[in-house]
Amino acid sequence: MKFLTNKSKHLFLVLSILSTPFAYAQEKGLDERINDAFTPIANWWESLILHNFPGTEIPTIIFLLVGGALFFTIYFGFINIKRFPTAINTVRGKYDAVEDSSDDGEVSHFQALATAVSGTVGNGNIAGVALAIAVGGPGATFWMVVCGLIGMSTKFVECTLGVKYRDVGEDGTVYGGPMYYLTRGLEEKGFAKIGKVLGVIFALLCIGASFGGGNAAQSNQAAMQLVETFGMEGGSARTIIGVILMVVVGVIIIGGIKRIASVTEKVVPFMALMYILACLYIILSNFWFIDDAFGMIFSQAFSPQAGLGGFLGVLITGFRRAAFSNEAGAGSASIAHSAVKTKYAASEGLVALLEPFIDTVVICTMTALVIIIFNGDSTVFSYGGEGGKVLIDGLPVEGAGITAAAFAKYISFSGPFLTIAVVLFAVSTMISWSYYGLQSWMFVFGKSKISDLTYKSLFLIFIVIGAAGDMSSVWAFSDAMILALVFPNMIGLLILFPTVKEELNKYLEAIKTVKS
């Protein structure tokens, strides 16, 4: 090594490190090599974000997320319950008469909701719920629902701000989300420099979240489900699936928000309805166990089974999975909602509060009941599985595989059905998150065709990485990326919430005439 210069040594070292994942090409399949390279990054980022609040066992992010949601729920007079009917009527178009047809925006209230729901109703509902119950037991379901209910208020606040401070280009294209209300909103309050910094931080984190939770975690579960359903073998099976998904998603996201909205408004309601009906069939077929299932959910929320980390462990598990599932407080959904055609920002904020209800309170709860009934019927697996893995018929199963096993017991054709559901949920989530990430990318790097192409290329690469990766590493990275968004976003929400109150009063005053 003496003949090498310092620069040459550094280059040699870098090349050696980069070549490490490929050093065992003959012994390892492509799936495993990609996972080996990705795992250290995922573990480092998770430990950085999910550090505990001093003197407690609770991650700091949970304090900020839940505390903020409780504050907004109380401050806005339990808007998640009181204004629920108003939200339904807004989506139905009852108050369209107060809207101006020339309003800025690109999509309808329903399309905006469908796009945002497609970003949250995904494999967090199928695999994430199974993961929560496998680790935290039935009690984790209770805290998921609680987090979903109060998260409705947070979603209202952030999506109202998303419309209020959005930017509309000369061609009518809408650019919105936390990066815009952090910069513009905080500038109005006299915090211009802080707003710019927080806006950029959020945008960068959102780009990472779009690669992780909105992409890699989805392709990971889709690939695992396809491999299991069709008995695919070989060390590159999931990588091949990832490439196929990459092509499908790539064709859709080229068309921008209008094409994304046109796809999600058809796919999401259909798949959500089919999934809910399948869950209802299993639940009602075992109606005699429903009261026992709810009894376990409530009792174990406060007195969990031994070995599950105690009360705090179950609570944190439930909140983490709910936060990943509905993203209330992360601010991501406000990017989709900001594209709506309206002149009243609060109208879309009210529509947005339906999102956590659909995602967490309804769909996640049904998935949880199916799994609890399945396990309670004959004790198929033991709760508290390390890393979310449990043994079913002597084989380690995790994520969507647990839900698939529950479906298979009661529905003979559930294998193909659940596989289709997992894949479609994954694709719908990925295309919505590609829009979130692209908006953030253009906020930082500029609005140009080159910028657009660069981001979409990177996004598509992460579909393959996620498909090939191990579930634990992919979900560790995904959890941390989405939860990291809460820090800059919640700071902005806790400063700008009085503006939301003003916007709400404007909209409620406008629709009084329609009500009468």
Which structural domain range is residue 73 located in? 29-511
CA–CA gap between residue 425 and residue 21 (Å, rounded): 31
* C-alpha span between 54 and 220 (Å, rounded): 34
Q: Is the pLDDT of residue 42 over 80?
A: no
Structural tokens at position 74 = 């109380």
pLDDT at 18 over 70: no
H or E stretch at 390 = strand 390-392
Q: Model confidence at 103, in pLDDT bands (50, 70, 90)?
A: low
Q: How far apart are CA 493 and CA 330, in angstroms?
A: 11
Helix (H, G, I), strand (E, B) or coil at 383: coil
Q: Environment class of residue 508 by beta-carbon count within 10 Å: exposed (0-12), middle (13-18) or buried (19+)?
A: middle
Q: What is the mean pLDDT of residues 94-122?
A: 71
* 333, 158 contact by CB (below 8 A): yes
The predicted pLDDT at position 170 comes to: 74
243 in any annotated domain: yes
Q: What angle do CA 221, 242, 259 make, to 5 degrees?
A: 90
Arithmetic mean of pLDDT, 263-288:
83
Residue 494's closest CA among 69, 176, 146?
69
DSSP 3-state of 173: coil
- Per-residue pLDDT, averaged over 184-197, amounts to 92
Q: Which one, of 501, 118, 507, lies nearest residue 337 by Cα?
A: 118
CA 307 – CA 299 distance, rounded (Å): 16
Within a domain: 5: no
What digits encode the pLDDT tens for the residues 238-257? 888 889 998 888 888 776 66
CA 262, CA 239: separation in Å to the nearest integer? 29
CA angle 48, 124, 62 (to 5 degrees): 40
Question: How many domains does the chain divide into?
Answer: 1
Distances (CA, A) of 410 to 373, 381, 395, 476: 11, 17, 20, 31
* CB-based contact 271:421 (threshold 8 Å): yes
Is 190 inside a domain boundary? yes
Q: What is the CA radius of gyration of the chain?
A: 23
Using CA atoms, how far apart are residues 326 and 147, in angstroms rounded to an integer?
9
Q: Can you tell me the mean pLDDT for 373-392?
A: 74
Query: Which percentage of the chain shows pLDDT scores above 90?
Result: 23
User: Is residue 14 a part of any domain in this protein?
Assistant: no
Per-residue pLDDT tens for 195-219? 999 999 999 999 988 888 778 888 8
In the predicted model, is pLDDT for residue 303 greater than 80?
A: no
Residue 174 CA to residue 13 CA, distance in Å, equals 46
250: left (phi over 0), alpha (psi -120 to 50) or beta: alpha
Residue 174 near residue 104, CB atoms below 8 Å: yes
Q: Which region among 237-241, 311-315, 391-395, 489-493 has the lowest average model confidence (pLDDT)?
A: 311-315
| The most confident of 47-61, 161-175, 310-324, 375-389, by mean pLDDT | 161-175
Residue 338 forms part of a structural domain: yes
Nearest to 147 by CA among 368, 381, 321: 321
For residue 159, which of 171, 146, 176, 183 has the smallest C-alpha distance? Answer: 176
Residue 368 in domain: yes
Backbone torsions φ then ψ of 107, nearest 5 degrees: -135, 165
Rounded to the nearest integer, the mean pLDDT of the chain is 79
226, pLDDT greater than 70? yes
Work out the pLDDT band at 428, boundaries 50, 70, 90. confident
Rounded Cα distance between 3 and 139, Å, is 63
Q: What is the DSSP letter of 305?
A: P
pLDDT of residue 72 exceeding 90: yes
Contact 49, 61 (CB under 8 A): yes
Which of 59-63, 365-369, 474-478 reaches the highest mean pLDDT?
A: 365-369
Helices 486-510 and 60-75: crossing angle in degrees, nearest 10, is: 10
| Residue 157 binned pLDDT confidence (cut-offs 50, 70, 90) | very high
Q: What is the pLDDT of residue 350?
A: 92
What mean pLDDT comes out for the span 421-431?
83
- CA 455 to mean position of chain CA atoms: 19
Across 196-210, 263-277, 362-376, 450-464, least confident range: 263-277
Rounded CA separation 176/1 (Å):
53
The secondary element (H helix, E strand) that includes residue 168 is strand 167-168
pLDDT band at 139 (very low <50, low <70, confident <90, very high): confident
**Highest averaged pLDDT of the listed ranges 214-218, 301-305, 377-381:** 214-218
In the predicted structure, residue 119 carries a pLDDT above the cut 90? no
pLDDT the model gives residue 79: 95
Burial class (CB in 10 A: 0-12, 13-18, 19+), 224: buried
The CATH number of the domain holding residue 430 is 1.20.1740
User: Is residue 4 domain-resident?
Assistant: no
Please report the sign of the dihedral spanned by the C-alpha atoms of residue 229, residue 231, residue 232, residue 234. positive
- Name residues whose C-beta falls within 8 Å of residue 462's C-beta, 6 or more positions apart in sequence: 211, 212, 215, 216, 219
What confidence score (pLDDT) does residue 25 get?
39
pLDDT tens digits, 458-484: 999 999 888 887 766 676 777 777 778
Tokens read off for 194: 């802080």
In this predicted structure, what is the pLDDT of residue 75?
Answer: 95
Q: Is the pLDDT of residue 92 over 80?
A: yes
Place of tokens 């009792």: 299
How far apart (Å, rounded) are the C-alpha atoms in residues 167 and 334? 13
Report, in this order, helix, strand and coil percent for the chain, each rounded to 5.
Answer: 75, 5, 20
- What pTM was estimated for this model as a whole? 0.79
Q: Does residue 23 belong to any structural domain of this protein?
A: no
